[in-house]
């Protein structure tokens, strides 16, 4: 197989990301898929990068966001607040990462695999801001949707706050905004208040 054929084979395989449904509704009410989510957070990164805690390589962060969930083509989507399935998520996703990126020529396979691992480790400024984007958009969509999925899945405040710790690592400005949205939704009884918000 030629280099071009390998690359095109990978691109066709990535089309399957459009079939992976998430537990978030879009503004028109349909359930978001992974490809829509990746595009949306990549665009958000382009628009909101000025709010990163540290100066980031925006292009690298966008690349990270575009590929961070492609592993779910084989591993499936793990709902953010599903504690049981979260325990095995990394193992399942790493196995998928090894297989899916191996479809590419070796240099690109290493680039994408390392980019995915960088996101998972969440140690660089780019990874931290990527996580902030990954966490922010579902909050915005749930707020727009009057907390529909929070109510449907009976998600308590404590679980939302735990996940948003990574948002704070990437952007304190956006974290503060998230807290304001959570407070509003607590007042509207869209979120079960099982703990307090400490600014």
Residue 45 · residue 61 · CB < 8 Å: yes
- Give residue 107's pLDDT: 98
3-state class (DSSP) for residue 156: strand
What is the rounded distance in angstroms from the CA atom of residue 186 to the CA atom of residue 177? 14
3-state class (DSSP) for residue 33: strand
* 4-16 per-residue burial string, b: 16 or more CB within 10 A, e: under 16: eebeeebeebbee
- Give residue 14's pLDDT: 98
- Give residue 151's pLDDT: 94
- Give residue 79's pLDDT: 78
- Give residue 88's pLDDT: 83
pLDDT tens over the chain, length 199 residues: 999 999 999 999 999 999 999 999 999 999 999 999 999 999 999 999 999 999 999 999 999 999 999 999 998 887 777 777 777 888 899 999 999 999 999 999 999 999 999 999 999 999 999 999 999 999 999 999 999 999 999 999 999 999 999 999 999 999 999 999 999 999 999 999 999 998 6
Please report, for residues 18, 72, 115, the alpha-carbon distance to residue 33 in angstroms, rounded to integers and kept in the order given.
Answer: 6, 11, 22
Q: What is this structure's pTM?
A: 0.94
What is the rounded distance in angstroms from the CA atom of residue 195 to the CA atom of residue 183? 12
């Amino acid at each position: 197989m030629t280099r071009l054929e390998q690359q095109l084979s990978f691109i066709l395989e990535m089309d399957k990301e459009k079939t992976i449904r998430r537990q978030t509704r879009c503004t028109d009410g349909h359930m978001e898929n992974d490809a829509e989510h990746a595009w949306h957070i990549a665009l958000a990164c382009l628009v909101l990068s000025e709010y990163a805690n540290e100066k980031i390589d925006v292009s690298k962060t966008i690349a990270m966001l575009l590929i961070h969930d492609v592993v779910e083509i084989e591993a499936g989507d793990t709902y953010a607040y599903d504690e049981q399935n979260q325990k095995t998520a990394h193992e399942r996703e790493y196995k998928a990462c090894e297989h899916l990126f191996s479809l590419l020529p070796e240099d690109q396979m290493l680039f994408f695999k390392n980019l995915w691992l960088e996101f998972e480790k969440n140690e660089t400024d780019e990874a931290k801001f990527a996580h902030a984007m990954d966490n922010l958009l579902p909050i915005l969509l749930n707020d727009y949707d009057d907390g529909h999925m929070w109510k449907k899945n009976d998600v308590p405040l404590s679980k939302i706050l735990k996940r948003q710790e990574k948002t704070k690592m990437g952007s304190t400005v956006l974290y503060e905004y998230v807290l304001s949205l959570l407070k509003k939704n607590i007042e509207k009884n869209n979120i079960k208040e099982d703990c307090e918000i400490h600014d």
